[in-house]
Chains A and B, each alone.
Chain A
Amino acid sequence: RKEVEQDPGPFNVPEGATVAFNCTYSNSASQSFFWYRQDCRKEPKLLMSVYSSGNEDGRFTAQLNRASQYISLLIRDSKLSDSATYLCVVNDGTWTGANNLFFGTGTRLTVIP
């Protein structure tokens, strides 16, 4: 069973559209949740952390449902520059010194002019 599951897409949406990505995770002990963005042939970069109460950063809103072990990302008013792969990431819930993260395979988004 995969630790983190995402719909790989691709999602092709017109500029200005609202798009939502979903993710489920299997480890109920996970404590930290993130969305990373990865552009083609580039490294992953943190988009936003995800908090239990939900959080918003401009056009991006992230939600966490611990009971269902479900994370979502909503992008409003899509821009061409939002085209990328969005990675759902959770930690392993352990408390060793380092921070072990599990990555989903990513959801590919293409915003069309």
Chain B
Amino acid sequence: ETGVTQTPRHLVMGMTNKKSLKCEQHLGHNAMYWYKQSAKKPLELMFVYSLEERVENNSVPSRFSPECPNSSHLFLHLHTLQPEDSALYLCASSKDRTSGRTDTQYFGPGTRLTVL
């Protein structure tokens, strides 16, 4: 399935590096999400964009910076990360509620991030 794609699939970075994660959805959705999944923890919602506007930021540290240039693309810019930020970062998309009541989110394959 290629509805939601993410690049890179794996990333190793040092604490002083700057990198970006990219997500693209081909489903015609207008809401996009970033989640963090750490071992033995539930998915943690980081950011939500609806109609290209950020509507949710769950107290995420400023070293994570999202960008949503259009409804099909979402980025997560990373800088000065910590080793505890190592996790699987998942992007998801869904229809916005203005399109009708559908809450199903479709996930990309994720970027497995390791911070050294």
Contact = CB atoms under 8 A, between A and B. Distances in A.
Interface of A: 2, 4, 8, 32, 34, 41-46, 49, 87, 91, 95-106
Contacts of A100: 45, 48, 56
B94 A99 contact: yes
B105 A101 contact: yes
B55 interface: yes
Contacts of A44: 43, 90, 107
Contacts of A95: 97
Nearest to A105: B42
Interface residues of B, number: 28
Contact of B41 (A91, A97, A105): A105
Contact of B110 (A43, A46, A98): A43
Given A103-B42, A105-B40, A43 B109 contact: yes
